[in-house]
């Protein structure tokens, strides 16, 4: 039982490049979330999904897109990376019946 797995763990991008972060969970959870963690800012919600095929904006959605084509996967895309998107990204999932969220190990992204 792997829980929540994020791919990749580290990445360096040049400004303007695009990339996709993958979050996979094997707990059959309905809800999935993408956060970014920045010093002094805490965890800020980027986008979230309450089920397969649905997504919604969080607190800081600009510059990101997401997709949830399969229940177990939640993808976060950066179409044109900017240095302001340098951060640690966390994915989380939880069940509708249990409020506890389970987190991935994080992806450290640097945009130069």
Partner 1 sequence: AQRVTQPEKLLSVFKGAPVELKCNYSYSGSPELFWYVQYSRQRLQLLLRHISRESIKGFTADLNKGETSFHLKKPFAQEEDSAMYYCALNWGAQKLVFGQGTRLTINP
| Interface characters, 16-55, with partner 1 (x: CB under 8 A) | ---------------x-x-x----xxxxxx--x-x-----
Q: CA nearest 29: which of 58, 51, 54, 5?
A: 51
Residue identified by tokens 């580290």 is: 10
Of residues 58 through 77, those in contact with partner 1 by CB under 8 A are 58-59
Instruction: For partner 1, give the closer residue by CB, 19 or 103.
Output: 103
Strands 31-38 and 87-94, by their bridges, are antiparallel
My answer on whether omega of the bond before 17 falls inside 30° of 0, hence cis, is no
Least distance between partner 1 and beta carbon 110 (Å): 19
Distance of CA 57 to the CA centre of its chain: 12
Decide: is 97 part of the binding site for partner 1 (CB under 8 A): no
- Give residues in contact with partner 1 (CB under 8 A): 31, 33, 35, 40-45, 48, 50, 56, 58-59, 90, 92, 94, 99-101, 103-106
């Amino acid at each position: 039982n792997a829980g929540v797995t994020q791919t990749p763990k580290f990445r360096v991008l040049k400004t303007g490049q695009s990339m996709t972060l993958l979050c996979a969970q094997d707990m059959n959870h309905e809800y999935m979330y993408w956060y970014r963690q920045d010093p002094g800012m805490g965890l800020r919600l980027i986008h979230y999904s309450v089920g397969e095929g649905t997504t919604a904006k969080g607190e800081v959605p600009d510059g990101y897109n997401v997709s949830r084509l399969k229940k177990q996967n939640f993808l976060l895309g950066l179409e044109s990376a900017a240095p302001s998107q340098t951060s640690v990204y966390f994915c989380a999932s939880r069940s509708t019946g249990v409020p506890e969220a389970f987190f991935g190990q994080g992806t450290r992204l640097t945009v130069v």
